[in-house]
Structure 1
Amino acid sequence: MAPITPESADVGANPQDLAEKAQDDTKGSDSDEASKEPDASPWDWNKDPENPYNWPAGRKAMQIAITASIAFLTSLGTSIMSSSPSQLKAEFGVTTTQSILPLSLYVFALGLGPVVGGPLSETVGRLPVYIGGLIGGGLFTLGAALVHSFAGLNILRFLAGVFFAPSLAIGAGTINEMYQPQHRGLPATLFILMPFLGPGVAPIMGAFITHRKGWRWTQWTMLFFLAFCLLLTVPFGRETFHPILQRRRAKQLNHPLPPAPSRRHQIKEFLTITVLRPLLMLVTEPIVGLICLYVACEFATLFTFFAAVPYIFEGVYHFSVEQSGLVFVSVVIGCLLGSLTIILCEVLLYRPQIPRHPPHMVPPEYRLYPAMLGSLGLPVALFWMAWTSRPEVHWISPILAIIPFAWGNLCVFISLVQFTVDTYSGSVVASAVAAGSLTRYGLAGAFPLFTIQMYNKLGIAWATSLLGFISIALLPVPWVFFKYGKKIRSYSHYETPTY
């Protein structure tokens, strides 16, 4: 397959601009090209039926189902072993902190998704990365189910995460390549729901599986879900990356192809987009830095629940392993309510702005309504949970407190990600997303490793309150961006909208 062009190396590049570039290149054919008798008929990629924007609704829905299923499988692996530490300690003779390593290392690996998946998918295509990731992740998950060494288990879990991770990185790109900005709200919400729904469903499944069948069956369960994803992806998956589809279409129509970039240029683009620029944006771009900090802290707080919930409900209310797992139903309910809130804000607050502004020029700040609402729910939920998790208060109270936390967490995440995507353009979007993934999964993997120690030292009330104080400190972020977003954007070192 021919290498991609320099223009198509941008993850967030506008496909319409790429199409125009391809058309301009075809117009400049010289007499030598004419001797090859290329098809002289006009070709408009924007109207071409192979353009994912022009696909039938059913085909688009199938691709959303595929990406969402793979994202759910990937996120399932984060916490399906959350009830396994006691069995790991007994089988391998490790400490409590060490027994959490298979969970944390998998989460750390997910932070590598944008680094590995983005550039690779722009070279070979989105679809091969989805299929290759499923096959590779499946093989390492199979190894984790069969391994008899604790070190081997950690290595295999990490490698499984590395292979599954790209699906989270390129899923948003798949959606952007099928839907114009004004139509992305619902499919993007459904896709982003999966990385939050997985950590809510997985502990429930994991608790029953671990208690009744043993921890190894958590990995076999992952393989069952993986088989379902492959059955969807292999026969029904379609490539969506515009530059690759344009090249294929140009060959079919016998149109000249744009010149390919050098390997040196591709390596430079890779290092810039996925390594150097994300780190630079974290410290020089207030929008990226604050959003990454806010989202990472609240996402990591969700992951503390994998250790904190069993600690609280088994220690205070004497729940069984399975009953503690069922507590995470509240996370699922909160995520579903958060998705509903995002959709309502999209329909009632964002879409009415579209006719009032030029095409594709709605100010990014209109994406922030869900984040402003969710930012209020996070501290309320954490303090509620902190001071009602005691024997004299019924167990239903701290369980109910988790619902507004999960609701607010999803609202904050989706809203701020949409704000970031609307704020930056081209490959800068990919760098901002990479920075978010590295910080989010880095903190999420680290928090469970010290959660039990923190709860032992501070007690349930103050340990959970500490998380609440962090959410209060970061609460103003979406409100400040809503009020002063345009001014803050004007100070950016990168191109941002001026409207």
Structure 2
Amino acid sequence: METSKSQSEIVTAPDPVELEMARIPMTAATMPTKDSDPLLVAFDEPYDPENPLDWPTGRKWMVTDVLSATGFNRIMVSTIMAPALSTIASELNMNSTESAMSLSIYLLATAFGPLFIGPLSEIYGRRVVLHASNVWFLIWNVLCGFATTKGTLIAARFLAGFGASAIYALGGGVLGDVWRPEQRGRSLGVYLLIPLLAVAVGPVIGGFMAARTTWRWMFWATSIFQGVMIFVAFFSFDETYGPLILRRRADRIRKETRNSNYYTQAERLDGDRSPGTVLGRALTRPLRLLLFHPIIQVSAILSGFNYGIMYVTISTFSEIWTSLYHQSVEISGLHYIAFSLGELAGSQVGAPLMDYWYKRQQSRNPAPESRIPLMFPSIIASWGGILMYGWAAQYQVQWSVVDIGVFIAMFGMQLGGMSTTAYVIDAYGDHTSSAMAASQFFKSLMAFCFPLFAPSMYQALGYGWGNSLLALVGMLLSIPLPIFLWKYGARLRAKAMSTY
């Protein structure tokens, strides 16, 4: 990184090389290369079969699809209870707040889990963390199905959510490990394809189970699927974290040559720190990012508010159909299909647009900020859809209008969310999991808190004015914050030298 240039020059007259170097801290940027130091263990250029970025496409899709299918089950479990909340509350003697808590406590756990799981995956690797979290999630999800008291259900849901949260830390990390920036849109689009179905499939399955069998099968059925995914992942998910692969290569070379001077860049950056210090620094990294990095703070606010609104709608959507439209619990679950279709459409439209825009900007400005312009088209769709859905429900117009409003809102939120995710992945390199964990903390916290006040808000304001208030706040956030990142993002990344 050239310290002779001023910060204003970096923003107003960006040099492509300089901007790319701004993605990593100065200590890493000034490291020796493999050509200049034969003792440095690094991936061969231009091709190294052990480098995840150079893997065959089929192998890349294998780890992507395994992670995607695992995410499907964990996200489905977060929403599957929604149509059956009244049934569960009646059986376990829960009031309305406690029943909402049993749904959203899962999301509270996904706020704290990534803060530990993300950094651990950057020390011990993605593979071992995925396997451990799979087993942990399975144990507590099974217990949810056997819960006989509200305390047991809420506690087991929290612990299951802690294990499920690994997917939020690993998702962005693995995609950043194996896919290059120009493939970011396509990889995100395919990765999200299966998990986004879970938003609709969960409540649909939950609605039919609540009406035709015990709600406990919601957890037993998803646990059976989780057992299958544990088996599949064990044999098909390879380690993707480049620094760990290089560390293992360096250990092998040091053992074969009996020369302890071989090192990797990550080991050089760790210096003479003890393993405990390295672990402690890693575990505090997401919090340091969240507290001291405006890029993470802004992206967390943007994605967190949208995530909270999505779960407000999920937790109250079934009530609209059963109370206002007098439909059955089974039919109310089918309306969640509008959620999933909107998010699927947003991801599949956003994926090619993201790659097209990145390649178009690559010759002039290949910096992560090239992801930001796609955030703006999502603003009208997101909050226009929320207004349409709220006022249509308020006046009980034809049911399809409500579903169309939800479809448009989810389409817009997904379009903006993909751009935000890609920006964080591009900006934080080898520590994407920690960066995603920091963002996920705020997202999950909003998803936990927002549904708790939603029933009271809609009771006081109605769906029309309630959604109007949410849309107003959303507009106040989603217009200036992306502009801030576009204008100051490169400068902020250049100053982020203590991240690692």
- Shorter-chain TM-score tier: 0.7 to 0.9
Alignment partner, residue 407 of structure 1: 411
Equivalent of 1:270, from 282, 293, 299? Answer: 282
> Structure 1 CA distance, aligned partners of 2:390 and 2:247?
57
Task: Tell me, yes or no, if structure 1 residue 288 matches structure 2 residue 300.
Answer: no
Alignment partner, residue 455 of structure 1: 458
Deviations 1:446-470 (A, max 9, x none): 1122222221121222122222222
CA contact (8 A) 2:25 2:496 kept: no
SS, match of residue 44 in structure 1 = coil
Alignment partner, residue 389 of structure 2: 385
CA contact (8 A) 1:388 1:397 kept: yes
Q: Report 1:16-415 matches (<5 A).
A: 27=39, 44=44, 47-193=47-193, 196-253=196-253, 254=256, 256=259, 257-258=262-263, 261-281=273-293, 285=294, 287-354=295-362, 356-357=363-364, 362-390=366-394, 393-415=397-419
Judged with a 3 Å threshold, the aligned counterparts in structure 2 of structure 1 residues 67 and 12 are, in CA distance, closer, same or farther, namely farther
> Structure 1 CA distance, aligned partners of 2:482 and 2:250?
47
CA contact (8 A) 1:23 1:44 kept: no
CA contact (8 A) 1:424 1:495 kept: no
Q: Structure 1 residue 432: deviation in Å? A: 4.0
Alignment partner, residue 32 of structure 1: none
> Structure 1 CA distance, aligned partners of 2:174 and 2:40?
31
Judged with a 3 Å threshold, the aligned counterparts in structure 2 of structure 1 residues 432 and 52 are, in CA distance, closer, same or farther, namely closer
> Structure 1 CA distance, aligned partners of 2:33 and 2:170?
23
Q: Structure 1 residue 441: deviation in Å? A: 0.3
SS, match of residue 169 in structure 1 = helix
Alignment partner, residue 15 of structure 2: none
Q: Structure 1 residue 186: deviation in Å? A: 1.0
Judged with a 3 Å threshold, the aligned counterparts in structure 2 of structure 1 residues 43 and 435 are, in CA distance, closer, same or farther, namely closer
Q: Which moved more, 1:104-113 or 1:175-184?
A: 175-184
The one-letter code matched in structure 2 to 1:416 is T
Equivalent of 2:474, from 471, 481, 485? Answer: 471
Q: Structure 1 residue 275: deviation in Å? A: 2.3
CA contact (8 A) 2:76 2:199 kept: yes
CA contact (8 A) 2:113 2:162 kept: yes
Alignment partner, residue 8 of structure 2: none
Q: Percent identity?
A: 25
Unaligned runs of 5+ in 2: 1-22
CA contact (8 A) 2:172 2:436 kept: no
SS, match of residue 368 in structure 1 = helix
Judged with a 3 Å threshold, the aligned counterparts in structure 2 of structure 1 residues 475 and 410 are, in CA distance, closer, same or farther, namely same
When the two structures are superposed, what TM-score results if normalisation uses the length of structure 2?
A: 0.84
Unaligned runs of 5+ in 1: 1-10, 30-41
> Structure 2 CA distance, aligned partners of 1:353 and 1:390?
44
Judged with a 3 Å threshold, the aligned counterparts in structure 2 of structure 1 residues 27 and 153 are, in CA distance, closer, same or farther, namely same
The one-letter code matched in structure 2 to 1:370 is L
Q: Structure 1 residue 324: deviation in Å? A: 1.0
Q: Structure 1 residue 381: deviation in Å? A: 0.7
> Structure 2 CA distance, aligned partners of 1:130 and 1:271?
17
The one-letter code matched in structure 1 to 2:234 is V
CA contact (8 A) 1:185 1:343 kept: yes
Deviations 1:424-456 (A, max 9, x none): 5554x5554333111110010111222222211
Judged with a 3 Å threshold, the aligned counterparts in structure 2 of structure 1 residues 156 and 225 are, in CA distance, closer, same or farther, namely same
When the two structures are superposed, what TM-score results if normalisation uses the length of structure 1?
A: 0.85
> Structure 1 CA distance, aligned partners of 2:237 and 2:138?
18
CA contact (8 A) 1:45 1:51 kept: no
Alignment partner, residue 16 of structure 2: none
Q: Structure 1 residue 251: deviation in Å? A: 4.5
Q: Structure 1 residue 493: deviation in Å? A: 7.3
CA contact (8 A) 1:278 1:434 kept: no
Give me the CA root mean square deviation: 2.9
